[in-house]
């Protein structure tokens, strides 16, 4: 064999070896995360790719769920001859990146029945690999308010929350809060470039979006340094590619409150009941506040309403099963803690505290517990004292009256004056008659 022939033989052997190496190269199919969330009526994309990155143009690619054939790619084109009727005219295989081993199954107009585990299979001449991903279909979402009414204190902060129902990620959605004019927003997340709206100057540098739970569809817009003028209705809107939903949250901003006692001192009888009342000033709803009554140790409470989960306090065993909170007027900020079967040892000062999200205030109510009949004795002592004072007053009044009467009588007696010309000269019977005559002449 000539040298030229040997060269050709080696070239052919090298080419065959290269072809075998290329066709027999092992690979792995990787999916792009699972579960894949989808919304009823929307579109969804299931992506698969090869590792290492190689062309899949000459491979067979198949998508199926259970026994349902969804899509088949073979000989460089789609083959839908065995496609399940459920997916007819609703799927398309995107192959723009097939030369680097990436394909995407596009499912249109998602149905609830599309929920399931989808298998993606890549087959070469002598090797194959699969990947599975879960498609989870949610219903068309609604937006709901976390709290329909939020109460905040002037100068404090207000958290306006809303969320998706059913729960679903909102990371790729546009979320907008506005008040009144939709084009003058309070806050916007993932703003659409085509949106010509701008932030309302009133809220500039006063808002932030809390997104810790956005993957579950929950967001909160926080308004800082709230003003009385911020009171009103706020609209929260979530936009997906082809759907949107909204809800309204009412914000009420009040002046900083004080807590005042209904009665500073409450007197109760041993074995009876005592009502310790306190209220907000100015009047305001306390439904969403935490209200605590304690005596002495703040962590050993008499009663707590809307207990904060972070509060490590516990109920004082002394008051267990003996207290209840009367909340008939709580929307006006008035509450009463009733202590039943009061004991003499319950006597003391009780602290009543109202907590809002950014403010609190407290007051003290004194409880005096008396022994049975003690109240009557006290009343009798008071009555006796009043009677004694009344009698003393009458005695003093009588004495004063008598003194005045005597004085008036003395002043009423007239003093008789004797005129000088009516006065007669006394006659001295023992004198000489001539002397008497001389006196008369004078």
Is residue 3 predicted with pLDDT exceeding 80? Answer: no
In the chain, CATH 2.60.40.10 covers 23-138, 142-254, 258-370
> What's residue 373's pLDDT?
64
Q: Assign residue 4 a region (left: φ > 0; alpha: ψ between -120 and 50; beta: otherwise).
A: alpha
The DSSP bridge partners found for residue 337 are 276, 325
Is residue 411 predicted with pLDDT exceeding 70? Answer: no
**CA–CA distance, 47 with 105 (Å, rounded to integer):** 6
Percent of the chain with pLDDT over 70: 84
Q: Would you say the pTM of this structure is higher than 0.85?
A: no
| Segment 26-80, tens digit of pLDDT | 999 999 877 888 878 888 999 999 999 999 999 999 999 998 999 999 999 999 8
CATH architecture of structural domain 23-138 = Sandwich (2.60)
* Residue closest to 51 by CA, chosen among 102, 113, 109, 124: 102
> What's residue 24's pLDDT?
55
Distance of CA 366 to the CA centre of its chain: 31
> What's residue 6's pLDDT?
42
**CA–CA distance, 91 with 77 (Å, rounded to integer):** 14
> What's residue 412's pLDDT?
61
**CA–CA distance, 71 with 255 (Å, rounded to integer):** 64
Find the length of the chain.
442
Q: Pick 258-370's CATH classification: 3.30.70.141, 2.60.40.10, 1.10.1200.10, 3.40.50.1100.
A: 2.60.40.10
**CA–CA distance, 191 with 47 (Å, rounded to integer):** 26
Q: Pick 142-254's CATH classification: 2.60.40.10, 2.20.25.90, 3.10.20.30, 2.120.10.30.
A: 2.60.40.10
> What's residue 431's pLDDT?
47
- Give residue 406's pLDDT band: very low, low, confident or very high (50, 70, 90): low
Q: Which of 28-42, 47-61, 285-299, 398-412 has the lowest mean pLDDT?
A: 398-412
Highest mean pLDDT among 175-184, 262-271, 372-381, 422-431: 262-271
> What's residue 192's pLDDT?
82
């Amino acid at each position: 064999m000539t040298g030229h022939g040997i060269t050709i033989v080696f070239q052919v052997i090298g080419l065959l070896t290269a072809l075998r190496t290329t066709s027999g190269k092992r690979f792995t199919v990787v999916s792009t995360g699972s579960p894949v969330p989808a919304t009823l009526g929307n579109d969804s994309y299931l992506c698969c790719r090869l590792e290492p990155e190689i062309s899949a143009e000459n491979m067979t690619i198949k998508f199926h769920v259970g026994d349902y054939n969804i899509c088949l790619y073979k000989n460089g084109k789609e083959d839908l001859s065995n496609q399940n009727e459920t997916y007819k005219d609703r799927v398309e295989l995107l192959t723009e990146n097939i030369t680097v081993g990436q394909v995407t199954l596009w499912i249109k107009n998602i149905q609830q029945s599309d929920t399931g585990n989808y298998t993606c299979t890549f087959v070469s001449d002598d090797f194959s690999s699969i990947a599975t991903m879960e498609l989870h279909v949610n219903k068309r979402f609604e937006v709901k308010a976390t709290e329909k009414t939020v109460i905040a204190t002037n100068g404090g902060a207000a958290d306006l929350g809303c969320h998706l129902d059913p729960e679903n990620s909102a990371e790729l959605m546009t979320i907008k809060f506005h008040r009144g004019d939709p084009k003058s927003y309070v806050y916007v997340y993932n703003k659409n470039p085509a949106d010509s709206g701008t932030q309302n100057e009133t809220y500039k540098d006063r808002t932030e979006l809390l997104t810790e739970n956005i993957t579950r569809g929950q967001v909160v817009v926080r308004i800082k340094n709230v003003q009385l003028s911020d009171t009103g209705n706020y609209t929260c809107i979530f936009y997906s590619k082809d759907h949107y939903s909204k809800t309204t949250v009412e914000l009420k901003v009040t002046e900083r409150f004080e807590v005042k006692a209904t009665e500073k001192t409450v007197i109760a009888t041993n074995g009876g009941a005592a009502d310790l009342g306190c209220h907000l000033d100015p009047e305001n709803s306390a439904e969403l506040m935490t209200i605590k009554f304690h005596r002495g140790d703040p962590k050993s409470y008499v009663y707590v309403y809307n207990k904060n989960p972070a509060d490590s306090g516990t109920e004082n065993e002394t008051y267990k099963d003996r207290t209840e909170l009367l909340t008939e007027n709580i929307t006006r900020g008035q509450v009463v803690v009733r202590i039943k079967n009061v004991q003499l040892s319950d006597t003391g000062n009780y602290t009543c505290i109202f907590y809002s999200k950014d403010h609190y205030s407290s007051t003290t109510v004194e409880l005096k517990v008396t022994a049975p009949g003690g109240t009557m004795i006290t009343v009798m002592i008071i009555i006796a004292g009043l009677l004694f004072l009344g009698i003393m007053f009458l005695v003093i009044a009588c004495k004063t009256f008598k003194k005045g009467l005597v004085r008036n009588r003395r002043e009423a007696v007239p003093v008789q004056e004797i005129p000088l010309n009516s006065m007669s000269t006394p006659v001295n019977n023992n004198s000489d008659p001539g002397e008497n005559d001389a006196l008369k002449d004078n």
